[in-house]
Amino acid sequence: MPAVEMRSITRRFGALVANDTVNFSASEGEIHALVGENGAGKSTLMKILYGIEQPDAGEIAIDGRREDIRDSTKAIALGIGMVHQHFMLIPPLTVAENIILGSEPVGALGILNIAAAEDAIRKLSETYRFNLNPRDTIASLSVGEQQRVEILKLLYRKAEIIILDEPTAILTPQEVEEFFGILRTLKEQGKTIIFIGHKVSEILGISDRVTVMRKGKVVGTVATASTNANELGKMMVGKSIESLIEKAHSEHRKQLLRVENLSCQSHRISSSLKNVSFTIESGEIFGIAAVEGNGQSELIEILTGLRKPSGGSLYIEGMPNLAHIPEDRLKHGLVLDFTLQENFILGRQRETAFSSPVSLNRNAIANYAAEQIRNFQVDPPEPMNRARQLSGGNQQKVVLGRELSKNASVIVAAHPSRGLDVGATDFVHRTLLRERNNGKAILLVSSDLTELLTLSDRIAVLYNGAIAAIFNAHETSERELGLYMTGASAAQSAKLN
């Protein structure tokens, strides 16, 4: 009997059918991966299971019993828990205070018994080898430790079915290894784990079965041991993903970006930049690897004019014509209620190609937007659609189209494939490599070490606001980069390699 069974689930949002008669099941003691392109319907399906969304048709059975899950309170009562991609934690509060929020233990007189809660949380932490101190504040924990708090919160509420949404998106390789160890322990305890993910290599390494969704439907469910990356990729996007284009090599490179002793202060000591220096030449992708909060955001803000440095200098060929693909496309890359036409000319609306002193040239804007939609394969190809109507991958294509059409000599790309499916990620990677091969200098900041190693020519590791090391991409590994990202010395790296 499946621990979870969802039968003929249908969910509509106006004309959009997010889930189309979907059947999905997961067993006790199983790690079941749910994968698909952005907009495939997997998150909607899990929100229905957790009570955040309500289906228009279909039914859900938990341990063989049909249940009406009207809200997350009912889901929690049924032993269902969900860890969202963006953690739901309050930084100033302690581990224990975050875990008990909403289910505070009280004594006979209604007084909060925090000591009892801390004791129960400490025992749970020891049982699952989480190594968490209930009295530590969330702000003092690493990203990996914060994720353990989220899982511990579910275990404290006695969850038997655990939904994980993109759980490894911002973890280092070492943290991923530790996290997978935790998942295997939970599996041995009989927990049912549903793992929403995009990284096929991780899916193959941790799951027992994989369900693939495409355009609101289930394409198929396969045993992980009987499939491979190519087959899963084809199921997800409906076609084979070809190898990336080759990196062209040029003997006549020109220095396009130079950073010398760049420094700045931040409200967090660890993210202050400390005498950072590097150069990027034409036809080169220079990667930045760092755990979040080690100065990479401040570096990007200085390069793009959003923050002033406290010291040092920088030189950019062709300033102020610099292209910027921001790390958060929703907050800083798009105006979600603007049309695609309007988003394509953001920052360029005063150029003579698009306006006169008294009005916008609507025909010119429409023609330009239509051209970018074709060039960057935005789907659906409707220039008057609002940006919020697009999937994450197509939103990123709009950002790419606007920024790269500037023909800037230097491109700053921050987490360009974060949250994207395999097809959209492939498109972004190919686009950046073409720009590189056309002689552009690209600064690539990413928490995805596979992405950095695939695209970069050189990679710098930022730790505590300073450059810990710079590697040739073909001479290092995810493990070595991960060690430097967490402050390991060169000697430690050499010993472990």
Q: Select 255-321+408-496's CATH number: 3.40.50.2300, 3.50.50.60, 3.40.1410.10, 3.40.50.300.
A: 3.40.50.300
pLDDT in tens, the chain (497 residues): 899 999 999 999 888 899 999 999 999 999 999 998 877 899 899 999 999 999 999 999 999 999 999 999 999 999 999 988 778 899 999 999 999 988 887 776 777 888 889 999 999 999 888 889 999 999 888 778 888 899 999 999 999 999 998 888 777 777 888 889 999 999 999 999 999 988 888 999 999 999 999 989 999 999 999 999 889 888 888 776 666 667 777 666 899 999 999 999 765 555 589 999 999 999 999 999 998 788 898 999 999 998 999 999 999 886 567 999 998 888 889 999 999 999 999 988 888 889 888 899 999 999 999 999 999 999 889 999 999 988 888 899 999 999 999 889 999 999 998 878 788 888 899 999 999 999 999 999 998 888 999 999 999 999 999 999 999 999 999 889 988 998 876 545 555 55
- Residue 320 has a pLDDT of 60
Could you tell me whether strands 217-223 and 209-214 are parallel, antiparallel, or unpaired per DSSP bridges? antiparallel
Q: For residue 489, give every residue at least 6 positions away whose Cβ sits within 8 Å of its Cβ, in sequence order, or none.
A: none
Q: Select 4-237's CATH number: 3.40.50.720, 3.30.360.10, 3.30.70.100, 3.40.50.300.
A: 3.40.50.300
* Residue pair 168/180 in contact by the 8 Å Cβ criterion: no
Strand ranges of the sheet holding 217-223, from the earlier edge strand across to the other edge: 80-83, 161-165, 192-196, 31-36, 209-214, 217-223
Strand ranges of the sheet holding 284-289, from the earlier edge strand across to the other edge: 322-325, 410-414, 441-445, 284-289, 458-463, 466-472
How many helices (H) and strands (E) the chain has is answered by 16, 19
Q: Which residue has the tokens 């590097």?
A: 278
**Which residue in 377, 389, 430, 438 sits closest to 410, CA to CA?**
438
Cross-strand partners of 62: 4, 65
Q: For residue 494, give every residue at least 6 positions away whose Cβ sits within 8 Å of its Cβ, in sequence order, or none.
A: none
Residue 113 region by backbone torsions, left for phi larger than 0, else alpha for psi between -120 and 50, else beta = beta
3-state secondary structure of 432: helix
**Tokens standing for 198?**
């995009």
- Residue 251 has a pLDDT of 67
**Which residue in 398, 391, 400, 449 sits closest to 419, CA to CA?**
391
3-state secondary structure of 79: coil
- Residue 241 has a pLDDT of 66
Spell out a b/e string for 420-440, using b for 16 or more CB atoms within 10 Å of the CB, else e. Answer: bbbbbbbbbbebbbebbeebb
Sketch the domain layout of the chain as residue ranges. Answer: 4-237, 255-321+408-496
DSSP 27-80: -TT-EEEEEESTTSSHHHHHHHHTTSS--SEEEEEETTEEE---SHHHHHHTTE
- Residue 60 has a pLDDT of 97
Could you tell me whether strands 441-445 and 458-463 are parallel, antiparallel, or unpaired per DSSP bridges? unpaired
Q: How far is CA 165 from each of CA 42, 237, 283, rounded to the nearest angstrom?
A: 10, 20, 36
* Residue pair 112/102 in contact by the 8 Å Cβ criterion: no
Asked whether this chain's domains 4-237 and 255-321+408-496 adopt the same fold, the reply is: yes
d(Cα 281, Cα 99) in Å, to the nearest integer?
Answer: 49
Q: Alpha-carbon Rg of the chain, whole angstroms?
A: 24
E strand spans, 326-465: 410-414, 441-445, 458-463
Q: Which amino acid, one-letter code, is at 254?
A: K
- Residue 402 has a pLDDT of 95
3-state secondary structure of 483: helix
